[in-house]
Structure 1
Amino acid sequence: MTLSLARRLTASRPFVAAALLALAAPVVSAAASPPASPAAAVNPQVEQAVAALRAITTLQADFVQTDRNGQRLTGVLSMQRPGKIRFQYQPGIPLLIVSDGAALTLIDYEVRQVQRWPIRNSPLGALLDPNKDVARFATLNPTGHSEVISLDVRDPRHPEYGSITMIMLKKPSAPGGWELNSWVALDSQNRRTTVRLANQRYGVALPSNIFRWNDPRGTGRK
């Protein structure tokens, strides 16, 4: 490994790990929640955005991930609903984030370390968990543009789950007529990660093993 690559990995590893923590907020034990109040009427734009997200079967896109200090990493995102996602980082970064539908896993091939977090209670659950009632916890942010939807999703009864703000742009060729453009994930400790997508491809055939990973600890394939 060259010195420049070693320095790059040393600098990027904490950033990627922190980014994953923002995407998968740690689960914190909470007191029993009070009964939910009767559902209020859902804004039509919220319904459109949620319907568009649920209309995605598979998605592949290029991404740029930025932390609150402005450090950036690039890669390719692959998503398959329900529950599966893969962040394949740029060459030279031996890290992988993947969800098999139940948990987000961070694999660090450089130090042979594996960490897992439940996805159902993470900000990314709004994108991936088919049982999550996104519309119930969504707030529409004014944008001033009829072709831009900004949707903030957070469960007020569970602040430890963090939040996600999704930006969707009107696009007739996208599922449901709206395209997921970017999102900002914020965990309960105020760690922020921004992910911007480009070159979105829908309905692509994804390899059956793309949401699996090789265990660097020598225990086989997951």
Structure 2
Amino acid sequence: MIRSALLVPFALVAAAPASAQEADLASVQRFLRGVTTMTADFSQTDRAGKVLTGTLTWKQPGKIRFQYQKGVPLLIVAEGGALTFIDYSVRQVQRWPIRNSPLGVLLDPSRDLSQFARVVPGDDRLISVEARDPNHPEYGRITLVFARNAAGPAGLTLQGWVALDSQNNRTTVRLSNQRYGSAVADNSFRWTDPRRSATPR
């Protein structure tokens, strides 16, 4: 779970018509099911304002990699149903089920968004969708932000997200240079276990 949230307070905006919200949610569902691969540059900001950058590689279903900028000894990889956080500076590895992370909404396109997500009204040029598991608040929540773009999958481009964990730690991820449909090999999501090797990869 990236220690990362563009939350729009529900109380500060008027609710959009249900039919419009349903249509937007359906568009996001088609986007998630239509993406095969995506690569992008990312900028990650934590609650203290610290900014890290890097490259994102995403392959459906269930694979994602956050390769941080040179000199940052961190790596986040999702594959095989698990999300793994690796800190090479202290040779530490943490793993948990993808479904227990806010990022699970991106990585399992078979899930029905209408069961756990809602559209957050706001700028008509964007679609913001907040997803959370009402039965497991400890999993945190995520607000995905999409721009309407006829050239993107389902007419959308993923602009980023805001993730909030159960301790209210917020992380904001913004994406740029999004590219869809490029060939991405499965070995792009392999990683070196620092507990066995001192050389990160």
TM-score greater than 0.5 by the shorter chain: yes
Equivalent in the alignment of 2:90: 111
Whole-angstrom distance in 2 between the partners of 1:131 and 1:22: 24
Q: Which runs of 5+ in 1 are unaligned?
A: 1-18, 24-39
* SS of residue paired to 1:51: helix
Would you say 1:99 and 2:83 are equivalent positions? no
TM-score by length of 1: 0.78
Residue 166 (structure 1) aligned with residue 144 (structure 2)? yes
Tell me which of 45, 52, 59 is aligned to 1:80: 59
Structure 2 residue runs of 5 or longer lacking an equivalent are 6-17
Match of 2:166? 188
CA distance in 2, matches of 1:103, 1:169: 29
Amino acid at match of 1:198: S
CA distance in structure 2 between the aligned counterparts of 1:77 and 1:192, rounded to whole angstroms: 19
How far apart are residue 68 of structure 1 and its match? Answer: 1.3
Code of the residue aligned with 1:161 in structure 2: it is Y
Distance 1:130 1:45, change over 3 A: closer
**Secondary structure, in 3 states, of the residue corresponding to 1:209?**
helix
CA distance in 2 between counterparts of 1:98 and 1:48 reads 27
Q: Return the alpha-carbon distance in structure 2 between the equivalents of residues 21 and 100 of structure 1.
A: 18
Q: Which structure has more RCO (C-alpha within 8 Å, separation ≥ 6)?
A: 2
TM-score by length of 2: 0.85
Tell me if structure 2 keeps the 8 A contact 1:82–1:101: no
Distance 2:159 2:80 in 1: 22
Q: Which is further off, 131-140 or 158-167? A: 131-140
Alignment of 1:195-214 (within 5 A): 195-214=173-192
2:138 alignment partner, SS class: helix
Greater Cα radius of gyration, structure 1 or 2? 1
Residue matched to 2:14 = none
Partner of residue 68 from structure 2, selected from 75, 89, 94? 89
Deviation of 1:116 after TM superposition, in Å, equals 0.7
What do you get for the CA RMSD once the two structures are aligned? Answer: 2.2
2:135, 2:193 → 1: CA distance?
Answer: 36
Cα distance in structure 1, aligned partners of 2:186 and 2:135? 37
C-alpha displacement of 1:142: 1.0
Q: Is the 8 A contact 1:125 1:132 kept in 2?
A: no
Aligned to 1:13: none
Q: Distance in 2 between matches of 1:84 and 1:111?
A: 25
Q: Do residues 66 (structure 1) and 48 (structure 2) align?
A: no
Q: In 2, Cα distance between the equivalents of 1:101 and 1:184?
A: 24
What is the count of residue pairs matched by the alignment?
A: 186
Pick the aligned partner of 1:179 from 149, 157, 179: 157
Report deviation, 1:131: 3.9
